[in-house]
Amino acid sequence: MNVIIVGAGIAGLSTAWALVKAGHSVSVIEQGRIPNPLAASGDHHRIIRRAYGRAGGYARLITEAYQAWDEMWGDLGESHLDPRGFLGVSREEGDEAEIYREGLEAGSFPFDLFQPDEAVARWPFLEPGTFRYAYFSTEGGALHCRRIAAGLLEWLRAHGANIYENSKAVGIDPDAGRVTLADGAVMQADRVVVAAGAWVLKLFPELGSELKTWRTALAYVEPPADLRAAWETAPVILDVGGKTDGYMIPLTRGAGMKFGSGLHKVPTSDADWNRDPVEGEGEAIRNLFSPPIARIEEYRITEVVTCAYTFTDDEKFLAHEAGRCLIVSACSGHGYKFGAAVGRRVAAALADGDIVGLKRWLRAEVA
C-alpha cells in the first residue's frame, strides 16, 4: 500500500513508523521543519502519567502506551522517556488533583500518599500550609518530544520513507487519494492519513462542529539556585490542585523546566493566530502556581512557547474516514503520551480496514 501522511507531529511520524515496519510505502508531508516548534508535538517535552481521573479507559490504555514506546525505543536505539514518576498536590476537597487520586484508587493503580510536612521535607519547593496532601506514582515521567521526532526522522529516512519538509498540503481530494501542495505539486496514493493537529480545520472545515481550537502558552523557567537540585530529581507535577489546572515538568535531561495551566487558553478559529508571546505572559502563567509553589517570583522566565490545540466536547480522540482519507486527531491536550500507540493502531486499521475498531480505541472504549 502507498500512503501519504499529512503532518509530522507525533501522530503522523508514529503512523509512518508503524506503516514502514509493516512493509508499506510511505511519504510524509510537513508544512514546517521536523520537529515543527509551532506544532503541539514540537515542544521540548510532554507528560506521561497513569492518572486519568474519571476517564478510566485512558488510564487502562497507558499500559499499551508504554508498550508502544518501548517498541519504538528498541527501533530508535535509545529511550526518550525520563521515567521519574509524577506528583499530585491537592489543595481543596474535590479538586482535579483529588479526582486524579480517586481514579488511581478506582483502577487499583499504586501510589504513595504524603502528609504536607512529609511532602515539604521531600520536595522543598512546596509551600507549607497551602495544601492538604500530595501523592506520588512511579507510572509517569517526561517524554522528550524533540528527541523523539529527530530519532523518528532519522529512522524513517534510513528505512526508505519519503520525507518532505517545508511542504504544505493545501488541498486534498479524498476520493482520489490526491494531495495538492502549496507549490502546485500533486501527489497520489492508495490512502491518505491526515494528522494535521490544530491545522486540520484548514483542510477539513466541516470538522469544526466537533473540534474547537484554542491558543495557549507555556512558561519555561529557571528555578532559584538553592532549589535547583530538588527540581533536578523531582517528579513531573501532574496537578498543583485548587482551580489552577496546572502542571509542571522539572529539569530533565537538559531541557528547560516549565509551567502550563489549562486556565491560560483562549479560543481561536485559526491555529496560526497570535503565535508570538505577549509581554508579561510568562509571568502571568508562572504566578498561577502560587500556592502551592513557594517563592514563585524567584522563578525567572527564560522562554514562552505558544501552542495551538483542538478539543472535542468530551475530550476524547477522534478519527474520520472520507474516501481514501483517514483523519486522525489524538487531541484535547492529552494525546502525546499515546503517540506511539496511536501510530500502531492507525497503521493496523489501514491494513485490516477496521476503522470502527480504531475509533472505539481512540475513545478508550476498549482496553
Ligand X SMILES: Cc1cc2nc3c(=O)[nH]c(=O)nc-3n(C[C@H](O)[C@H](O)[C@H](O)COP(=O)(O)OP(=O)(O)OC[C@H]3O[C@@H](n4cnc5c(N)ncnc54)[C@H](O)[C@@H]3O)c2cc1C
Instruction: For helices 10-21 and 56-76, give the axis angle rounded to 10 degrees.
Output: 60
Contacts of residue 118, defined as CB under 8 A and 6 or more positions apart, other chains included, come to none
β-pairing verdict for 246-249 and 257-261: antiparallel
Closest listed residue to residue 96, CA positions, set 152, 135, 126: 135
The piece of 123-131, 155-163, 198-206, 287-295 that touches ligand X (CB under 6 A) is 198-206
Is residue 334 involved in binding ligand X (CB under 6 A)? yes
Is residue 345 involved in binding ligand X (CB under 6 A)? no
E strands, 223-350, are 236-239, 246-249, 257-261, 265-268, 300-311, 318-322, 325-329
How long, in residues, is the chain? 367
Is residue 46 involved in binding ligand X (CB under 6 A)? yes
Residue among 336, 350, 358, 362 that touches ligand X (CB under 6 A): 336
Find out whether 19 and 3 touch, Cβ atoms under 8 Å.
Answer: yes
DSSP 23-85: T-EEEEE-SS-SS-TTSGGGSSEEEEES--TT-HHHHHHHHHHHHHHHHHHHHHTS--EE---
The piece of 53-61, 116-124, 153-161, 331-339 that touches ligand X (CB under 6 A) is 331-339
Residue among 122, 168, 212, 360 that touches ligand X (CB under 6 A): 168
Is residue 172 involved in binding ligand X (CB under 6 A)? no
Q: Which three cell numbers stand for residue 243?
A: 482551580
CB of 166 to ligand X, least distance (A): 9
Is residue 178 involved in binding ligand X (CB under 6 A)? no
Nearer to ligand X, 96 or 120 (CB): 96
The piece of 96-104, 197-205, 279-287, 288-296 that touches ligand X (CB under 6 A) is 197-205
Is residue 53 involved in binding ligand X (CB under 6 A)? no
Is residue 58 involved in binding ligand X (CB under 6 A)? no
The piece of 1-9, 19-27, 72-80, 226-234 that touches ligand X (CB under 6 A) is 1-9
Nearer to ligand X, 38 or 126 (CB): 38
How far, CA to CA in Å, does 350 sit from each of 29, 60, 217, 260, 359?
18, 24, 34, 35, 12
Residue among 15, 31, 213, 261 that touches ligand X (CB under 6 A): 31
Q: Which three cell numbers stand for residue 308?
A: 495551538
Nearer to ligand X, 8 or 192 (CB): 8
Contacts of residue 200, defined as CB under 8 A and 6 or more positions apart, other chains included, come to 194, 207, 211, 310, 327, 329
Is residue 327 involved in binding ligand X (CB under 6 A)? no
Q: Which three cell numbers stand for residue 217?
A: 502558552
Nearer to ligand X, 3 or 195 (CB): 195
Is residue 29 involved in binding ligand X (CB under 6 A)? yes
The piece of 110-118, 119-127, 196-204, 358-366 that touches ligand X (CB under 6 A) is 196-204
Closest listed residue to residue 36, CA positions, set 218, 201, 204, 197: 197
The piece of 115-123, 222-230, 330-338, 354-362 that touches ligand X (CB under 6 A) is 330-338
Residues that bind ligand X (CB under 6 A): 6-12, 29-32, 36, 39-41, 46-47, 168-169, 195-199, 203, 216, 218, 260, 307, 309, 329-331, 333-337
